[in-house]
Amino acid sequence: MQNKPLSTGFFALISLILSGLVFIPAAYAAGGGGDSYSSTPSKPYGYSKAVKLVNAQKFEEAIPALLKLAASANEDADIQNLLGFSYRKTKQYDKAATHYNRALNLNPKHKGALEYQGELFLTLKDKAAAEANLEKLKKICWLGCSELDDLEEALKNYKG
């Protein structure tokens, strides 16, 4: 009985699978995880402009734009997170908490909302709640992520 070499079809299949594994992390790094702030077809008109306002630290201008977006896209965790962030930066902590909670109700694994809510908890001197968010991020970001790093750094620098 003669052994036949494995078919080239088998090797083609293995190559295809392995090449797919190379591209999966790249997709997530580019924002494929669902909590990216880049403009996509699934985001409502005006989203990119609101993000630019937030990135420019024009929070007072960003809030009305984000509220308008939230009215038409009330199931968008990214918009809720950005509202929470903008309210936190303008020291409107109750409103920030409301929007972080909404973001996390929509997406309990929203890394940005977990990080920013953790930072809000530190602002409100609730270190235990911030540490709980850190533990959630450790489970989500088991390979590491910037949100985990940033909240760890905030906790490290926390003076209480």
pLDDT at position 32, please? 31
Q: What is the pTM (predicted TM-score) of this model?
A: 0.75
pLDDT at position 12, please? 47
The predicted-structure confidence for 98-154, as pLDDT tens digits, reads as follows: 999 999 999 999 999 999 999 999 999 999 999 999 999 999 999 999 999 999 999
Q: What domains can you pick out in the chain, each with its CATH number?
A: 42-156 (1.25.40.10)
The predicted-structure confidence for 84-103, as pLDDT tens digits, reads as follows: 999 999 999 999 999 999 99
pLDDT at position 79, please? 98
Burial of 138 (0-12, 13-18, 19+ CB in 10 A): middle
Residue 49 CA to its chain's centroid (Å): 18
